[in-house]
Amino acid sequence: MPASVIVDALWGDSGKGKTCAYLARKHDAQLAVRAGIGTNAGASVTLESGELIKARQLPTGWLNPGTKVAVGSGVLVDPRVFADELERYGLGDRAMIDPRCAVISEQHIADEQADQHLRKQVGSTCTGNGYARADFALRRAQQARDIPELAPYLGDVAAEANRVAADPDGLVLIESSQGTMLSLALSEDYPYTTSGNCTTASALNDVGLNWRHLDEVIMIVKALPTRVGEGPLPYEISTAEAERRGIAEYGVVTGRPRRKAEAIDADTLRYAAMLNGPTRIALTFCDHLDPAIRGQRGSAAIGPEVRRVIGEVEQATGAPVTLLDTGPRLDDVIDLEG
């Protein structure tokens, strides 16, 4: 398996980080690379010990001891967030940043927090990513190679990813961010989008990976979709209803309540599959659909409601569901591939 892309079908917050960590451990991946916009989206993984891992800059593949982690050149870097994750998780000897990454400055963050359009109309996280991306497009942003404290971690991530992927025994996991339906140039919901695209093709571009090395596209589908910020959400339920059912969620970056839907919109899912070309599906947050499956790790626990959704997702995407996420812990997974 030379290279696999992990991409979100809908509006994000679906468990891409957990999936990346699970696959890195299962296959002892050599390299995990972060694609996507930057630090405006986070991943959280709960270990068997109960420890909660949160990350915004680095991919969670480092939870496998033998996996190195990197940030692709198309991803924005916040040196403060990067340094914090290195220190918290002891990743100084396993992390690489591409020197061509644009840098989020403190001024970018301040400008976004003062931008009423982004804060109130769009519902942005206001973490400086949009302003930094705009400055990069205008060729006036700093790059990682301009920041002295990043110098020990700089390396050509595109070259490394292609080198590992060219090895028949190697595996590169590319962890995308946010979700396909938040894509700047592909969503119907503009301006309620992020500042770039969040598809398979954009993830390859963020990393600089030759498409010929791509072996798998693992598309994450959240059993009960969520959305943070403004924009339409089909089949949305109220926050009170989500709390009553015990399925309320809160954002990793902002702590804001995630708006919750009670079903997957089939037309939206078909469109996401058309854009991403999934070879297989990970169906996540199955315990929000059926509480009885929570924490289960064997296929005998799959009940009729989850089986119904599996069938609907496979019909809409044309790809098999091979992973079921059943709870918050890293190993709360039913792996239908074994």
pLDDT in tens, 184-196: 999 999 999 999 9
The answer on whether 13 is annotated among ligand-binding residues is: yes
- Virtual CA dihedral for 221, 222, 228, 231, nearest 10 degrees? 60
142 pLDDT tier (thresholds 50, 70, 90)? very high
DSSP codes joined into one string, 251-318:
-TTT-PBPEEESS--HHHHHHHHHHH--SEEEEE-HHHH-GGGTT--SGGG--HHHHHHHHHHHHHHS
Residue 252 annotated in ligand binding: yes
pLDDT band at residue 303 under the 50/70/90 scheme = very high
* 194 annotated as ligand-binding: yes
57-84 pLDDT, tens digit per residue, is: 999 999 999 999 999 999 999 999 999 9
CA-nearest of 327, 338, 325 to 6 is 325
Give me the sign of the Cα torsion angle 179, 183, 188, 192. Answer: positive
- Count of other CB atoms within 10 angstroms of residue 65: 9
What CATH number is attached to the domain comprising 221? 3.40.440.10
For the annotated catalytic residues, the residue numbers are 13
Cα-based distances in Å from 173 to 5, 203, 288, 330: 6, 11, 27, 17
- Going by the DSSP 8-state scheme, the letter that residue 11 receives in this structure is S
Span 83-128, pLDDT tens digits: 999 999 999 999 999 999 999 999 999 999 999 998 888 888 889 9
pTM of the model: 0.94
Q: HSE of 271 in the Cβ direction (CA atoms, 13 Å)?
A: 14
Structural domain containing residue 163? 3-335
Q: What are residue 329's DSSP bridge partners?
A: 46
Ligand-binding site membership of 327 (annotated): yes
Percent of the chain with pLDDT over 70: 99
Number of domains the chain is built from: 1
